[in-house]
Amino acid sequence: MQFGLFEERPQYYTSLDELVSHMMQMTDDPLYPAGTRMVIYRGNPDARLMIIGEAPGTEENRLGKPFVGRSGQLLDQILQAVDLDSEKDVFITNAVFRMPPGTDGRPIRKPTSEEIAWYKPFLLEIIRLIDPAIMILMGNVATESLLERVGITKLRGQWFQWNGRWAMPMFHPAYLLRNPSRKQGSPKWLTWQDIQEVRRKYDELVANK
Contacts of 4 (CB under 8 A, 6+ apart): none
According to DSSP, the residues that pair with 162 across neighbouring strands are 165
Q: For Cα atoms 194, 198, 201, give the angle at the middle one, nearest 5 degrees.
A: 140
Residue closer to ligand URA by CB (options 10, 95) is 95
Which residues bind to ligand URA, rule: CB under 6 A? 53-57, 60, 66-67, 69, 71-72, 94, 139-140, 152, 171-172, 174-175
Rounded distance, CA 102 to CA 197, Å?
35
Q: For Cα atoms 171, 174, 176, give the angle at the middle one, nearest 5 degrees.
A: 60
Instruction: Report in angstroms how near the CB of residue 180 gets to ligand URA at its nearest.
Output: 14
Return the residue nearest ligand URA (CB atom): 53
Instruction: Report in angstroms how near the CB of residue 8 gets to ligand URA at its nearest.
Output: 27
Asked if 194 and 156 touch (Cβ cutoff 8 Å), the reply is: yes
Number of H helices and E strands in the chain, helices first, is: 9, 6
Instruction: Report in angstroms how near the CB of residue 145 gets to ligand URA at its nearest.
Output: 11
Residue closer to ligand URA by CB (options 19, 116) is 116
Residue closer to ligand URA by CB (options 143, 202) is 143
Instruction: Report in angstroms how near the CB of residue 140 gets to ligand URA at its nearest.
Output: 4
Residue closer to ligand URA by CB (options 43, 56) is 56
